[in-house]
Amino acid sequence: MGGAARTGGVTLSLAGRTALVTGAASGIGRATALMFAQAGAAVAVNHLAREAEALALVEQIAALGGRAVAIDADVTRTPAVASLVAAAQSALGPIDVLVNCAGIIQDKPFLETSDDDWRRMIDTDLGSVFLMCRAVLPGMVARGEGVVINVASDLALLGRAEFAPYCAAKAGVIGLTRALAREFAPAIRVNAIAPGPVETAMLSPLHMSPEWIARDKAIPQARFAAPEEIAATALFLASDHARFYCGQVLGPNGGSVMP
């Protein structure tokens, strides 16, 4: 593999680095893992009970001349996270870049939201970020360098009716990102991405009503993003071109949020 990817006319290289991407069997995580591998990184592809998809991605990366390994782990559980990090490092070496992509979404009126609904969302979309960062950051601190990229959402900034747990969890990701950025700078760069609507299974008609899909497309760009458009933002943040980014929230959102 050539060891570099071109994004917007700029060559971005992750040659010689190891990345761990959670939720990498599909969607943004898959696109990020593939793009990182194309840029020269060795990639640990985390998934949860999606072995066929994860192995297909690993085989695709290998066919391109890259290195990757698929690791099944529930990133909401502390022992599983510890095993995931240990397996990734054993197979590929110390983790230089952590991308927290694992997440779920649910639309339900707030007054119908159960305790289990709330806990599942917070554990998956926010708790996993906490657990993964706590497991990976010690190695980065010991080496004096590293990059953490957390995937939030434009809804963390906008809010949305019937998405209260999701909005709360993703807002928590942004708060955690900024706190960690201040605590671990300058050696370790911690940033977040807050995408707008993305063409993934979570926003397919299987999971979202036609009314919600129409509303999500009612943004200035009038479409969903491709997962690769979000992955390109992650690649930039992981690269040396983003050395001065610290605690930032980048918004490839099609104009849904205009601060």
**For residue 176, what are its two tokens?**
């955690």
pLDDT digits (tens, 9 = 90+) for 67-113: 999 999 999 999 999 999 999 999 999 999 999 999 999 989 999 99
> Strands 18-21 and 5-7: what pairing?
unpaired
CA-nearest of 152, 151, 105, 154 to 253 is 154
- Tell me the mean pLDDT in the region 248-255: 94
Q: What is the mean predicted confidence (pLDDT) over 216-240?
A: 92
Which pLDDT value is given to residue 208?
60
Bridge-based pairing state of the strands 10-12 and 5-7: antiparallel
**Does residue 206 have a pLDDT over 60?**
no
**Coil, helix or strand for 77?**
coil
Which residues on adjacent β-strands are paired with residue 189? 147
Burial 28-46 (b: 16+ CB within 10 A, else e): bbbbbbbbbbbbbbbbbbb
Q: What is the dihedral of CA 193, 40, 30, 123, to 10 degrees?
A: -50
10 contacts: CB under 8 Å, gap ≥ 6? 241
Q: What is the pLDDT of residue 222?
A: 86
| Every domain of the chain and the residues it spans | 5-250
* CATH classification (class only), 5-250: alpha beta
List, by residue number, the catalytic residues: 166
pLDDT tens for residues 110-124?
999 999 999 999 999
**Residue scoring higher pLDDT (11 or 91):** 91
Taking only the tens place, the pLDDT of each residue in 185-203 is 999 999 999 999 998 766 5
Q: Tokens representing 252?
A: 């490839």
Per DSSP, the three-state class of 111 is helix
Whether the per-residue pLDDT at 7 is higher than 70: the answer is no
**Phi, psi dihedral angles at 65 (to 5 degrees):** 95, 10
Cβ-proximal residues to 252 (8 Å cutoff; 6+ apart), any chain: 193, 195, 196, 225, 229, 230, 232, 233
E strand residue ranges, 76-216:
97-100, 146-151, 188-193
Encode 161-172: b = buried (16+ Cβ within 10 Å), e = exposed.
eebbbbbbbbbb
- Averaged pLDDT score across all residues of the chain: 93
